[in-house]
Amino acid sequence: MKRTTAILIAALGTALLPAAMPVAVMAKPVAAASAETQVLRSDAKAYLEGLKKQPRPPMSDAMIAQMRKIPPQVIEKMMAASEVPLGTLAVDRKLTMPGPGGNMDLRLFDSRADRGPGPVVVFYHGGGFVVGSIGTHAALAAEMSRQLDLPVVSVEYRLAPEHKWPAAPDDAEAAARWIAANGAALGREVNGLVLTGDSAGGTLTLLTALALRDKPAAAPVKLMIPLYPMTDASRSYPSMVAFSGDYGLTKEDMAYFGKSYAANVKSPRHSSLLADLHGLPPTVLATAGFDPLRDGGRAFVAKLAQSGVPVSYYEAKGNIHGFATFRKGIPSAQDDLNAIMALSRAMLAGK
């Protein structure tokens, strides 16, 4: 039993890396892939070598079903191998809201006990739309609260394969609207939103920003901070081919995530790069040098700039996808997160 649990936890650790990408898309690269002149960091290399020492079966519906049975506190302890502790907070409180598919769990993180009116950060966790939770990403949400000096509300959205696309973007949008309109429940007056998330959560950040641009919420979106999001599943990019094998994520697992989520890859509600980006909020977008989703992120930044949207781009040179939640396993990732947060503070100050 212990060995089975260990295998499942190791599987979850790897699963937290990707955003979903159908295998058919990966089969047709548009150009030769290249890491350019970048060199994989020594701590990132050591982290990846550690993953190779934990072989596991491929992801499957049966494995996900077993993962769902593992107590959340056990899964959260798994993160201690790669992520730093939660750290000091003044507020750490669970909330519930009505969602499109039933009640949704939220968690409020705040470095201050009391605040005047101000923005609230809405956080969406990563995990390929299949795994991950508020708990697995609690340390990142808490760090964002401290560094941005803002309250952060993390969202527990529905996961595949039980709930296929567009359940996740439906929940993400509903949560942002509820948070904007329910400052009383948070104990904080909300006068704006900052949307953020990592990997699949970064994708939800972009989709929610588009939805709230077209139909505004009770408070405006002042900034979005997508961390290594999937921006375009309608085609392949060189980085997707170059970094989908030996950088913490296999083609087989990505195929499983894509199949489980079952999104329409040509829909702007999944591939946000296909949407009209005019009128989106100021943006700080981050990728990593050895990130399968890097080139899609670069393309999104370029289109934002062409659309007149204020944008800052940060690329974690020599690092891998998922670095923001691997700060213990990859210590240099803390410097990357610090830089992203500094860019975000500057962008908010200039808003």
Q: Catalytic residues, which ones?
A: 199, 291, 321
Q: Identify the CA nearest to 192 among candidates 211, 173, 175, 179.
A: 179
Question: What whole-number distance in Å separates Cα of residue 306 and Cα of residue 32?
Answer: 25
